[in-house]
Amino acid sequence: MRILLTGGCGFIGSAVVRHLIRATDHSVVNIDKLTYAASKDALEEAHTHPRHTLVTADITDLATMQQVFATHRPDAVMHLAAESHVDRSIDGPAVFIQTNVVGTFSLLEAARAYWTSLAPKAKAAFRFHHISTDEVFGALAPNDPPFTETTPYDPRSPYSASKAASDHLVRAWHHTYGLPAFVTNTTNNYGPWHFPEKLIPLVTINAIEGRELPVYGDGSNQRDWLFVEDHAEALVRAVEHGQPGETYAIGARQPRSNLQVVQAICGVLDELHPDPAGPRTRLIRYVTDRPGHDFRYEIDASHAMRALDWQPAHDFDRGIRRTVGWYLDHQSWWEDIRARRYTGQRLGTAA
């Protein structure tokens, strides 16, 4: 297939591009605005691979999106481009509405016009795959069952509300216009090339440098953690086999509290890169919780695992060890971000 993928220089998007180039024969047209969180380096060998084309563009620009469809004539769309940091959405929600809602609308309209023009066989085979988050479902109490594909929507932050809106648009374009679209919702991802303001890279980098490790509240907020390369494999299986109108909830069933995550990072670093000053748990600092902090997310991925014939390859212990090792081995990458592109030291979140 020729896949038009948005946000392919972001954290999850770049993992999908790498998987497409390494593990399939598909070609990918990568549309990315190259915002603060994007990194061409994360494409690794895919950046110069003949089956990868990078188009620097904004998905909210409908005319440009129409031109991209006309020029590259994709067989499928994988829509990952999104503003995704909860703290940033609280500080400035406007860009989240613009990118996540207006951008999805523009992409849907460009895709619909293109799909309508296709010959019957190509039209039947076309897919629009929208990648979303479990945060659209709200928060779980300690004993609630995990989210599934039928969990009612209950977004709690500007970020999750904007993603919920984009999910609804995709489903509306499927039901109203027949666009062969489907949605995947995932839980928290982690792994290589994760932008330094998110929880796991922030804590890892701070711990390497001997800085304080900020933990919201008492650290009991819980997330289900999915290694990004496992998610990338699931997403590619979805675009290959996903059915129009379907929803696939993708997760790893590896729940950890934020405090457990921080302690695990400290343990791996103490083993791989000992600090003469002592165990890094000494650096943990509890800070004021953020507004509207959802308590728990977890996904029951059994339907997606069966439908897509997929299983995550990493448990949390293996995944966090690979991740911490990657940040130790790629210090120049995150030092450059902190020095040139990253201003301020935001608190990391699990979102």
Q: Which residues are catalytic?
A: 134-135, 159
Cα separation, 299 vs 306, in Å, equals 14
Phi, psi for residue 132 in degrees, rounded to 5: -130, -165
Residue type, 250: I
Contact 323, 192 (CB under 8 A): yes
CB under 8 Å, gap of 24 or more: what pairs does 50-56 form?
51/20, 51/21, 51/25, 51/26, 51/27, 52/17, 52/21, 52/27, 52/28, 53/27, 53/28, 53/29, 54/8, 54/9, 54/30, 55/29, 55/30, 55/31, 56/32
**How far is residue 293 CA from its own chain's centroid?**
19
Cα separation, 226 vs 224, in Å, equals 7
Burial class of residue 25 (count of CB atoms within 10 Å of its CB; 0-12, 13-18, 19+): exposed
